Structure 1
Amino acid sequence: MTSETQEVAIFEWLAPDGGPARRTPVWLRFDETWYRSRYPQAAKDLVAGVGSDALGHYRAVGQVRGYSPNRWFDEGWYLATCPDVVAAVEAGTYRSGFMHYVQEGYRERSPHWLFSEKYYRTHTPDLTGAVLKSENLANGYDHYLAGGECDFRSGSRFFDPEVFRHYTSGCHDLPGLSAFEQFLVNADGVADRTRASWYFDPVWYLTRYPDVGQLIAEKRVSGALHHYLTLGEQAGYSPQAAFSEEFYREKYPDVSAGVGAGLFRSGYDHFLTAGAFEGRQPAPDAPLAEYAARPMVRADVESGIFRDPFAHWVASREQTDRAPDDRSIDEAHSKMMFVREAAGLLVEAGRRTLDFSRTEPPTVSVIMVLHNQFPLTMMALASLRDCFPGSLELIVIDSGSRDETVRLEQYVTGAKIRHLDYNASFLLSCNMALDMVSADAVLYLNNDVKLAPGAVQIALDRLASDGRIGAVGGKIIRTNGLLQEAGSIIWRDGGAYGYLRDRDPNCPEANFVRDVDYCSGAFLLTSTSLARSLNGFDTAYAPAYFEESDYCVRLIRNSYRVVYDPSVVIEHLEFGSSTSAASMALMQRNRRIFVTKQAEFLRNQYPAHLGNAVLARSRPAKGPRVLFIEDRVPLRSLGSGYVRSNDIVRSLVRQGCAVTVFPVDAHYHSLSRLYGDFPDTVEVLFDRSAEDLDSFLEERAGAFDLVWIGRTHNLARLRPLLDENSRYLPGTRFILDTEAVVTPRLQLRDDVLGLTKGRDGHRPQDLDEALRAEFECAYFCQQVVAVTGQDAALVRRAGHQNVAVLGHSVRPRPTPASFAERQGLLFVGSIVDEHSPNLDSLLWFAREVMPRLRDTLGSEVRLTAVGSRSRKVDLSTLYELDGIDIIGEVDELEPFYNTRRVFVAPTRFAGGIPYKIHESAAFGLPVVASDLLIGQLGWTEGRDILSGGAPDAQAFAAAVTRLYQDEALWSGIRDAALRRIEEDCDPARFDAAVASVLEGARR
């Protein structure tokens, strides 16, 4: 019998009803050569006359013994992971796990320890049912083996073709075999010598567990990874040096409990499923949360280069052969390189004159005092010219230079340059230059700096934003890439401290705007009139040091603000214009002068201790200091209540609050995306999670007047920590923002899905009992917030009367496209888990309503579903359905609202108030919604919105059809909904409600 004949025979024998496809999938082929090699007993049986051939042996004997027909299907693995199949085999329904897989399991079960159908379909969203059908493929595994893997797709997080090929570098290529095939063939033991993913290290594993090598030699397992996934993981083995099973379970008791309850196969399973995204620590020497906060790491994870920060960590460690955090830059070396860079620009300085000429009045005057250091000066001036192309007045005081600086006019035109034949000192030279200033703003700038693009304009914009701002400084980064200061603190003893010195410039504490005691004179922008009214720098501090501290204190004592703006970025060669020893001596002398002159101011400063740095880093705010806790950093694009949370943060800022955002769970987005979504005065702790809250509260002792906790489950989770650390929150008031009451939503979900009744036919828990359980923790807070009056009534029903209502803040901004210019339907909503109301409603609509609509309106009508998608949710079912385009998270929704004709909200169970309907109406896109949502909104059916029933498929399809075809109805609903938005979601009313909540909490 030929190989092809054997393939057809096994197909017909196991799938008499036509099987899963019209062609033979790779995983369905019987591999006689492999079979004989893998099972020596089969070869002996054939010699003894058991079976007419290898295929006959498998059919008659092999499958009963648990043999596999080929390397693509693992009978032992399949039965071990599918206990229901074992029961069916024992009952005689199937003769083997393979028979079950061929007849029905292929649709969703995993056939092999190194391939997951669910994983592959989830991570290959373009592989829809239509694609499989058009290409005559049985399932995702068929697609993978037929060539999908050659596109560097992965069927398991433990096998990444790109990683495997990187490590083998083609050295072990077998002609005609894919990377996956080569790994399974394991020629010359290649699979045990090289990585196949960032999640398992075979070399380390075999060294750590020598017993595995013996099992491989005995052919009881095929390799290290095979052992781990089939035996080792269950036995508590660790997969690689970067993860310790023992450490992880001991550190996180909830994980150990979850493994014991069967929720996870191991601690590593939990870590890869959730822990790596929550910022949990995988091993004693792996500070993953700190590493994950790095901008490049976050960007790489968000862009999909790495699945999670842990993979990034392992890859980086592999490439450097040491922990990523071990890499540091010697500052002496970096300073030398900075100076060399300046020297390397001298040729260009001779060829290209820097032109500071202007035809308009200057926007800013820049004062630069020089004493030799010509190469540094030219680099600083080139940086200034490139940074600010506008009208700029450059004033240079050459204070007794003896190098090429004396011929500065040959290199710079259009500047006011005054050469002194003596060293007049920095301070006196600055005051001399102040008399020459003609702009309304003056910038004191060192000659040993490089400015980031836009630094001067950003500082000017900040200075002009409030007449009470007297001076603006920026984020100063030393040549080694670490912070010199992010604003500076003046202690009670007169000492100065550059906040966050030696920290990463991208750490969250350094990246929000705040009022400070002073900013360094390396870059200090101030009002010219103010500087002159204060007579510039106090000459008592000549020649230099403490003059800018004294100047800023005098501004503050005259009721002006000194503002630190992290978007103003300066690279500084610290002590580049003087020797550090001489500088230190001057500092000590001038500190004594400063203490004498500013004694009254200093009495109200914090004592000199690093433990006070967080309290001292900002001048007192006019509003309360608020710690805002949410599931995750509330980006607007996430939906699911995060838009409302983002609006609350914005409202708190408008009311003068100093806000710190603290996420309970770690998620990874690029820093530009994070910071672009919040007012620049908000401290966004993107690198923290619930794991850090204990130490965070101790670190920030006394730093918050109020804690606003979003979502009841977060309060329930964090309350023990808040109790334990209450000594660090003296006098702090607490607000619970319920976001949505969950109990009725869950009960409605159970009703809809038929999960409501127990064995006695009744609910296991009535509404009042469930409400009391949900809000058991609410006693902890002085104020409870509900999103609707209905929800507020439920909270009161649970026994809590201190409830305020805070809805949504939405401003109407109707999109311009006409009725005729639009087509198609739109659904917007995030899918956070497999029980998400959005996922349920989308599946229901696609299955029940879309076929009716396509019959009525034509097959060209399609539904576009937009919103963030959790990686943990399998959306493969959605991709199977016709007429739906699944779009992930987008930065801007307006283009979708401007091109679609009807918005659908077929929600069957939900709580709170549907922001997506408010948003759609604000964009001028009429809505068809379920009666549930219409009731939550309090809108009028037929006037503001159309009803799709409870929902009901026929009613929903009829309402969509009416709205889709009737332009007059469409326009009327659109206009009425816009009026409702103006009434219900007025931002001014929202701000007033937030203010009332704050007052209620304080009261």
Structure 2
Amino acid sequence: MTPSAEQAPSSAIQSLFEDGWYAARYPEASVSGLGPLAHFVKIGDAAGFCPHPLFDGDYYSKQYPEIPKHGGERLRHYVEIGEGRGASPHRLFDPSFYLEKNPDLRELDGLLLAHYHRFGAGELRSPCPLFSPGWYCDQRPQRKEARLHPLLDYIEYGDSAGLAPHPLFDPAYYGSQNPEIPAEGGQRLIHYLNEGGREGSNPHPLFRSRFYLERAPALEAPKKTPLEHYLGEGEATGLCPNPIFDPQYYLAENPDLRGIESLLAHYAEYGGGEGRRTSRFFLPQFYQDQLLGGGLKKSNLLAHYLDSGEEDGLLPHPLFDPTYYAGECPEAGFGQGSRLAHYLEHGHRAGGAPHPLFQPAYYAAQVGSLGTESPVRAFPSPFSSPSSASSGPCETLLSHYLVAGEAQGLKPNPLFDPVHYAKHDSANQGAAGISLLEHYVLWGGAAGLSPSILFDSAWVSRQIPGDARTRQNPMTYYFQEKGRLVKGPHPLFLASWYESQNPGVAESGLDPLSHFMELGAKARLDPHPLFYSAWYLDFHSGQIAEKKPAIFHYIELGEPQGLTPNPFFDAAYYVRHHGVQLAPGETPFAHFCNVGMDLGYRPSPLYSFCLQFFRDKREGRRCRSDNPAGGYFSPLYSSLTSPGSEIPIRLPEVYVPDVSIIIPVHGQHVYTLACLRSISKAENSTTYEILVIDDHSPMDQYRALSEIENLRLLRNEEQLGFLRTCNRGAREARGKDLIFLNNDTLVTDHWIDRLLETREAFPNAGLIGSKLIFPDGRLQEAGGLVWSDGTAMNYGYGEDLSDPRYAFARETDYVSAASVLIQAETFNGLGGFDERYTPAFYEDTDLAFRVREAGMDVVYQPHSIVIHFGGASHGRDTSGSLKKYQLANQETFRSRWQSILRKQPDSGSEPDRAALRRSGPRALVIDAEMLTPDQDSGSLRMYNFLKVIKKVGYAVTFMPCNLQYRENYTEALERNGIFVVRSPHTNSVERFLEETGAEFELCIVSRPDTAEQCLDLTQLLCPNALVLYDTVDLHYLRRERELRLAGLALAPESIKTQELRAVARADGAITVSDFDRKKLMHEVPGAPIHVVSNIHEIHPQKRSFADRDGILFIGSFQHTPNVDATLWFIADVFPIIHAWIPDLRFHIIGPNPPEKIREYASEHIVIEGFIENIDEQFSSRRLSIAPLRYGSGVKGKINQSMAYGLPCVATPSAVEGMELDWKNEISVAESAHEFAEAVAELYENEEYW
């Protein structure tokens, strides 16, 4: 130093030297005799004294080590040269930064440090990247108004007081990593700036230096710390300060922050506390919810995870499980968010799954199938340096899913379908900004929402052990157990069964349900033993518009529409019959599969009947093959389908059969064998042969049929098709009648008999069809309707088969060839099925029109019941290889019968009216109760009267006033073509008349009690009808005679008044005899009265007098005259006869004999009771008796005896009104002795007999 310098320090030094500060800081200068500046130049500089609060000589020397460390040279150098070159006088003042942030100082005449010290600090200008004056002063509100020098305050006071110089520098946090650094004078911040940052110490919980250094290779060590680099350029280029703060994501989520100085600083100051998200992989609320006891502020959540969350097993995001990921990628490290960092940077390459519900390889395959070369290339990693963004790591697959994939309908795993899950209202109403998969993990699984169509979260949750149920997601549990849950993931997916049926599951490496969702559904594999996919798609093809796997369609659309999942399940029956109470969201079929089967609940009314015919030893233990009932035979359901043996097929050996049953088949031998078993087991009185015409089936199926004894099995040399195969069968048949029967049918008892018996009620019937029902018990067809456009309709399809509308025989437009009877002569005379309809469809409809054209009728017989599976012969898809002929043949049919079709109802007409239009005008008959013609004379008369009304051209409806259904008696009427109104389908006479009364042209009300109840209603509600009152007998007359016989006074004339009033009100009356007619004409002058007497069928007898013995009485004991007659005969007449003819037996026939008659039962008085078939009694006895002492009307027991050619002894009361010859046609006696003589005389003398 020159002497002049020693004597006079340069003006440059003087411009920055702070005399007062120096003197206060170094009190020894005051006693040296030198002024502060002189002391610094001569002594202080060399001693390490600072000339200015913000000039640190030692720090400056590190930048310029060649500058002498005495005489103020370093300060002079800074003033004259250093600041201009960007040198810093203090670690906390950066001239370059200061100038960059304050461009208004570019023309400053003076030093930047001086400006800052004198003006900038007060103006809260920032001296370096890591000192924020505003932030600092906010921590010193009490000094803010005193023109605080923020940086000096921090150095002198704030640091030791624990104040932070910057939102991203936490002195206490930093000091905990470097406890040797003094907690004063800004030393911790300075330490970080000098060395701590490079050593990896973290300035703030949110800034991880090592993490940042590894991802910022452009950061040159001598120049900036990681945090300075981040604040200066890293954040702007998208580099992340920690694994879960993504600046780009933060800005995109918070566009209001655009232009802010530091996004991370904003988060540290405000965003954390406001709960703003920093990354796709950190959900603050989710994380906070995992902290038991809470208490942690939102602003500290991210830091907590980075410091200890991973170690504590906490998840930063619902879809990132650090523990699970570590199992996938053991190299991921542990702690400080290293697993998440590893996943974000390397996970997609390492193949590690971030969560059990996200499968990277599966997801990548979907993205690849979209044609995207690199599924994640569009999302540059926030960990990449700007220069390597184009070639460095890519964003994760999970990010792709969250950003774009889910919106495109891509699935994170085979069992989570975003499209399906989005249908849940609550999923769409969840927290904003989260994906559907996150919603499912957070809430949906616990709420029981289904993530895909065959995964039932609530169902799976109930299988999770109790202590884990509330905290484990059901799908996570499912994958944890590799899908092998005892009850499967859904009531209709039985995983264990599916795996046992499909060995490929184990080879695929997929869990059972994932295998089904990805492969099995498309291959039509069955998800459950009771769901037959191929059958479902075929059977319901007409109702399935879109192509989708069967089980998917059933769950989404089929079940709500009432479609059946297998041939034997009827949901409505199942719920109603068993009183099933369904849980919320539970379906009847699911209940049956998982509860009902174990309880032995029947799935349908015909279940047991049908199933027996499909038990086939050839099927072995297999549960599927082509057997529609195969699943039911699974050992899983042994409680309902107890072990049983195969029903043998035993066909009769017949050489001259009454009927030839023709069954065309092609494959489907399981159905054919079941059909043959049902025919073999069904009761019929008719002789028959069975011709199975095999239309060139595979030889193994043909052989299965060739072993059946007495089956006429013919095989086509080539495939001819259904129609030609039927025609061949007709040519080979030996029976007088032909029945065409589909192979996919099961027949019931007397199905043949009922078809043949139809000709008795419909003598002109040329073609007769059965009632076809589905195996689940619903109606398939009650005759067919043909509309004017040539389209056809199965009348009653899907309805209740017991509905009276479908339960009575009637003429119809056509009957299905699935089960139809026709005389061989007629069929061959018409040329068989018309081969223009080859190979099939519309051939039966055309045949019906040709039968009618030939002058015969087409009749539907509902009591010939045949169960028809449907589809096994042809299928139902009109676009298929065979079904396409349905549309073509419809046009052929329409063209051929165009003139006839014009007379048919229009398509869309009311089916019930169209079905009845061929039956003539409608007649209604109302009686007191159901007719029992084998039990009482009145019923027999009315039964035959109904047939007479029908024969003259009326469509007859019979309504018992009590609406009672009595199976055999109701069906007898229906078989004869009479519509019977009955409960439960009708529960009110009045309602029935209100709905249909206007359709009737004739109404007959029978008996006085019925008339009292129904006559006025009938006249009111049947305005177009002639209303007649049928007396049956004169009830008032019978009552008068009963009272006189008992010696009692006559009752008030209530019965007589009632009866006569009915005669007067009706349009006409009917009596059974001319005697009754004259009585009524006397009582009601001018009333139109007609006679319809008893009607009986003649039964010629061949048994001789010698071959007979005993006498009989027949009558209903609900009729009091019969009780009186029997008791009088037993007490007063029979003892006389017995004395004369000791071995004579008296047979008493009739339902419900009272005890006072039954007590007379003995060797010679035989109480027969009700006998269904009385032919044998009338053929075995020598005579009948009618010992009636009172009554009225014509006595059916006398008519019946005469119809059988059996002599009768009767009282005068019994023969009243019959106009019989007492000498030649009947023996009449009145007193007991006379009656006994008449019986004995007839009984012992063949010449009188």
Q: State the TM-score, normalized to the length of structure 1.
A: 0.52
Contact 2:659 2:738 in 1 (8 A): no
Q: CA deviation at 1:596?
A: 5.4
**Which residue of structure 1 aligns with residue 961 of structure 2?**
664
What are the residue-to-residue correspondences of 1:953-992 with 2, within 5 Å?
Answer: 956-966=1231-1241, 974-975=1248-1249
Distance change (3 Å), C-alpha of 1:477 and 1:934: closer
Q: For structure 1, which runs of at least 5 residues remain unmatched after alignment?
A: 1-312, 758-762, 950-955, 976-1003
Structure 1 residue matching 2:695: 3-state secondary structure: strand
Residue among 1190, 1195, 1203 paired with 1:914? 1195
What are the residue-to-residue correspondences of 1:886-965 with 2, within 5 Å?
Answer: 886-893=1167-1174, 895-897=1176-1178, 903-921=1184-1202, 923=1204, 926-939=1207-1220, 945=1226, 947-949=1228-1230, 956-965=1231-1240
Distance change (3 Å), C-alpha of 1:658 and 1:327: farther
Distance 1:821 1:558 in 2: 49
Residue among 588, 603, 618 paired with 2:902? 603
Distance 1:897 1:393 in 2: 41
Distance 1:581 1:698 in 2: 42
Distance 2:1131 2:1067 in 1: 46
Residue among 621, 628, 644 paired with 2:925? 628
Structure 2 residue matching 1:633: 3-state secondary structure: coil
What are the residue-to-residue correspondences of 1:677-716 with 2, within 5 Å?
Answer: 680-684=976-980, 691-697=987-993, 700=996, 704-716=1000-1012
**Which residue of structure 1 aligns with residue 211 of structure 2?**
none
Contact 2:1113 2:1186 in 1 (8 A): yes
Cα-Cα RMSD: 5.3
**1:866 is aligned to 2:866:** no
Structure 2 residue matching 1:571: 3-state secondary structure: strand
**Which residue of structure 2 aligns with residue 787 of structure 1?**
1072
**Which residue of structure 1 aligns with residue 938 of structure 2?**
641
Q: CA deviation at 1:907?
A: 2.7
Contact 1:736 1:784 in 2 (8 A): yes
Contact 2:661 2:688 in 1 (8 A): no
Distance change (3 Å), C-alpha of 1:876 and 1:607: farther
Distance change (3 Å), C-alpha of 1:447 and 1:940: closer
Distance change (3 Å), C-alpha of 1:698 and 1:926: same
Distance change (3 Å), C-alpha of 1:329 and 1:492: farther
Moved more, 402-411 or 741-750: 402-411
Moved more, 473-482 or 334-343: 334-343
Distance 2:1142 2:735 in 1: 66
Structure 1 residue matching 2:1214: 3-state secondary structure: helix
Give 2:1076's aligned amino acid: D
Moved more, 548-557 or 933-942: 933-942
**Which residue of structure 1 aligns with residue 317 of structure 2?**
none
Contact 1:664 1:690 in 2 (8 A): no
Residue among 700, 717, 738 paired with 1:404? 700
Give 2:1049's aligned amino acid: T
**Which residue of structure 1 aligns with residue 819 of structure 2?**
523
Contact 1:734 1:780 in 2 (8 A): no
Give the share of equivalent positions with the same residue, in percent. Answer: 22
Distance change (3 Å), C-alpha of 1:813 and 1:443: closer
Structure 1 residue matching 2:716: 3-state secondary structure: strand
- Count of paired positions: 626
Q: CA deviation at 1:911?
A: 1.1
Distance change (3 Å), C-alpha of 1:436 and 1:925: closer
| Alpha-carbon displacement from aligned partner over 1:936-959 (angstroms, at most 9, x marks no partner) | 44446566555544xxxxxx2221
Contact 2:1133 2:1235 in 1 (8 A): no
Distance 1:393 1:491 in 2: 34
Contact 1:847 1:881 in 2 (8 A): no
Distance change (3 Å), C-alpha of 1:591 and 1:913: same
Distance 2:1137 2:705 in 1: 77
Contact 1:365 1:395 in 2 (8 A): no
**Which residue of structure 1 aligns with residue 844 of structure 2?**
548
**Which residue of structure 2 aligns with residue 879 of structure 1?**
1159
What are the residue-to-residue correspondences of 1:268-347 with 2, within 5 Å?
Answer: 329=603, 341=615, 344=618
**1:563 is aligned to 2:859:** yes
Structure ID, larger Rg? 2
Distance 1:550 1:803 in 2: 48
Residue among 723, 729, 748 paired with 2:1019? 723
**Which residue of structure 1 aligns with residue 783 of structure 2?**
487
| Alpha-carbon displacement from aligned partner over 1:198-249 (angstroms, at most 9, x marks no partner) | xxxxxxxxxxxxxxxxxxxxxxxxxxxxxxxxxxxxxxxxxxxxxxxxxxxx
Contact 2:809 2:975 in 1 (8 A): no
What are the residue-to-residue correspondences of 1:79-158 with 2, within 5 Å?
Answer: none
Q: State the TM-score, normalized to the length of structure 2.
A: 0.43
What are the residue-to-residue correspondences of 1:573-592 with 2, within 5 Å?
Answer: 573-582=869-878, 586=884, 591=890
Distance 2:725 2:895 in 1: 24
Structure 2 residue matching 1:959: 3-state secondary structure: helix
Contact 1:772 1:799 in 2 (8 A): no
Contact 1:815 1:894 in 2 (8 A): no
Distance change (3 Å), C-alpha of 1:477 and 1:877: closer
Distance 1:965 1:788 in 2: 30
Q: CA deviation at 1:793?
A: 0.9
Distance 1:662 1:559 in 2: 32
Structure 2 residue matching 1:628: 3-state secondary structure: strand
Structure 1 residue matching 2:903: 3-state secondary structure: coil
Distance 2:1123 2:799 in 1: 43
| Alpha-carbon displacement from aligned partner over 1:121-146 (angstroms, at most 9, x marks no partner) | xxxxxxxxxxxxxxxxxxxxxxxxxx
Residue among 1028, 1032, 1035 paired with 1:742? 1035
Contact 1:342 1:376 in 2 (8 A): no
Q: For structure 2, which runs of at least 5 residues remain unmatched after alignment?
A: 1-576, 582-591, 622-643
Contact 2:862 2:975 in 1 (8 A): no
Q: CA deviation at 1:791?
A: 0.7
Contact 1:630 1:709 in 2 (8 A): yes
Q: CA deviation at 1:335?
A: 13
**Which residue of structure 2 aligns with residue 651 of structure 1?**
948
| Alpha-carbon displacement from aligned partner over 1:267-311 (angstroms, at most 9, x marks no partner) | xxxxxxxxxxxxxxxxxxxxxxxxxxxxxxxxxxxxxxxxxxxxx
Contact 1:362 1:392 in 2 (8 A): no
